[in-house]
Structures are given as structure tokens and as C-alpha cells.
Structure 1
């Protein structure tokens, strides 16, 4: 974090928080064998230095009417390294992820919508962005794994 490396205690805390972002400070302290005040200070430092970016609630998108997931590759005409189109794409509420990529296509976008008609409407919205030249979508049939957990180096226990 800035001038010091993340140590084993930080890694243990991060692993616990990735497993359950709602875990109490007292429970983290119990699991790592430290005082709650020491753990709280560690978590605050991890947040302050941007290692912990936030906490989120994971919902069942199918139960909320967004049962179709698609990945869309988008080819655009914009300068090398420019990401203005990516910024515009990220403004659509059905767009969950926007990745600027190397290769033939400029962006890989993850979209969650109700059905194929809604996907078609979303692609039409993408087409209103002047620099967009081509889209190619892959519809997900079944998600085998979806996670935001980052594999961290193992800690010496």
C-alpha cells in the first residue's frame, strides 16, 4: 500500500472480506487472532489506499427480469488509446462491464437484459454512438462460474 507491501495479515483480512463482505470486524479479529481495533485500522488503511474499493450486494439477475447475459465485441473508430466510446457505453444501465481490449475489436462489453428483443434494442443504442462501426454478440446459455473474488497469494498459517 503506498510505501509498504501488503503483509500476511492484510491478505488474511482481504480473503475473509472477499468471502463475506458483511462479516463483522469482531469476527475478522477472531479469525486472524488480533484485537478488533487493530483489524479496524488495517481495513481502514486498505480502503484509504484503494485496495478495498467497496462492498456490494449480489442479486439474482434472473429473478429481477434480466435473464439474458451477452458479451458484445465492439469495433470502433477512435484514436489509439482513446476510451471516449467506452465511457459512453458504460452509461447504459444494462451494461455491467466495459473492457478496452487489444486486437481487432476495441471493446468487450457485458450486458444483462430481459430477452433477445431487449438485446436488440441495446445494440441499437450502441449504434447511435458515431464511432461504433460493428458489434458481435455472444449470448450466454448457462453461467458455470461468475465471481469477483481475486485469488490472493496464500498466507502462512
Structure 2
């Protein structure tokens, strides 16, 4: 992929704030044509820098009041890929991470309430072969959620 420049960084940051921002608005902010912005965005997508677009959902407004992080210890780290496939089947799980430290995996999920959370933990997660233990952390309040503002690109060749 062609080296990312300051205009690309500006485009990335604008899209991270609002993925639905019209190309015309981005073009005006970057002092380029809409066609040039379209080409740059397509290059960023093709290079794997931009991956889809997302809407920010307020799950609490939909009845999912409990935001939970669950640390999972696996019998062996080599089971990760097998376990991930099963955890992906739990629709309430929105993130899965392979981690260092006390857990093999860290997941983020939304539940309607504590009873629903207990069902997910006891009847789904803890039933997966290879899961040794789980530790549940319930978020009482989210104080910050923001996109990461890119200031510079680290060249892999440096």
C-alpha cells in the first residue's frame, strides 16, 4: 500500500468520528475533490486500514442494561481458536480478545439483567469444553468512549 500521508490521517480521523460523513464534507475539509476522497478511501479500504463502518448503538436503550467483561481461563491456550468459534455463537458477545495475564481470553458482552447474565455465564460460556474458569466484571458506568485520534503513522520499516 502507498504510504499514508497527512490527508489520509485527516480522512481516517473524520471517519472515526462519523462513519456516515458525506464524502463532500471530507473533500471540503481536505481541500480535494470528492472523486479524490473516494479514491483515497477505496485505497485505505483495499489496504486494510479502513474496515467497514459502524453505528454506535445505545444497548441500554434496547433493554440490555448490564455491560460485562468476562475473563476466561482456558485449559490450554491452543484451544483459543476452537473456543472463539463457540463464543462467537453467543449473540450478546460483542468483543473477544486473546490476552496475556491472568486470562486467556477477555470478552465484552451485554445482558438484559443479572438473571440473563447468569444464564449466559452458567449455561453457555462455562459449558464450552476447555473453559476452566471465568471472572465477571460488571461495568457500573461508562465514562468515556471515543475513537482513537491518529496523529502519526508508524512506518514498519523504521
Q: What TM-score results when the alignment is normalised by the length of structure 2?
A: 0.90
CA displacement at 1:154 relative to structure 2:
5.5
Q: 2:44 aligns with which of 27, 43, 46?
A: 46
Structure 2's unaligned 5+ residue stretches are 154-158
CA displacement at 1:90 relative to structure 2:
2.1
| Separation in structure 2 between the aligned mates of residue 95 and residue 79 of structure 1, nearest angstrom | 20
Q: What TM-score results when the alignment is normalised by the length of structure 1?
A: 0.90
CA displacement at 1:22 relative to structure 2:
1.0
User: Counterpart in 2 of 1:134?
Assistant: 133
Q: Is the 2:68–2:109 contact (alpha carbons within 8 Å) kept by the matching residues of 1?
A: yes
User: Counterpart in 2 of 1:146?
Assistant: 145
Per-residue Cα deviation, 1:10-38 (whole angstroms, up to 9, x for no partner):
00111111111111111110000011111
Q: Is the 2:87–2:125 contact (alpha carbons within 8 Å) kept by the matching residues of 1?
A: yes
Per-residue Cα deviation, 1:53-108 (whole angstroms, up to 9, x for no partner):
01111121111010101111111113448422123212210001111111231111
1:74 and 2:72 aligned: yes
| Separation in structure 2 between the aligned mates of residue 26 and residue 119 of structure 1, nearest angstrom | 44
User: Counterpart in 2 of 1:18?
Assistant: 16
Count of matched residue pairs: 152
Matches within 5 A, 1:93-132: 93-124=91-122, 125-132=124-131
Structure 1's unaligned 5+ residue stretches are none
Task: Write out the 4+ residue segments of structure 1 that deviate beyond 2 Å after TM superposition.
Answer: 78-83
**Higher helix proportion (structure 1 or 2):** 2
| Separation in structure 2 between the aligned mates of residue 67 and residue 38 of structure 1, nearest angstrom | 43
| Separation in structure 1 between the aligned mates of residue 135 and residue 15 of structure 2, nearest angstrom | 36
Say which SS state the counterpart of residue 84 (structure 1) adopts: helix
| Separation in structure 2 between the aligned mates of residue 99 and residue 136 of structure 1, nearest angstrom | 15
Q: 1:79 to 1:61 in 2, by over 3 A?
A: closer
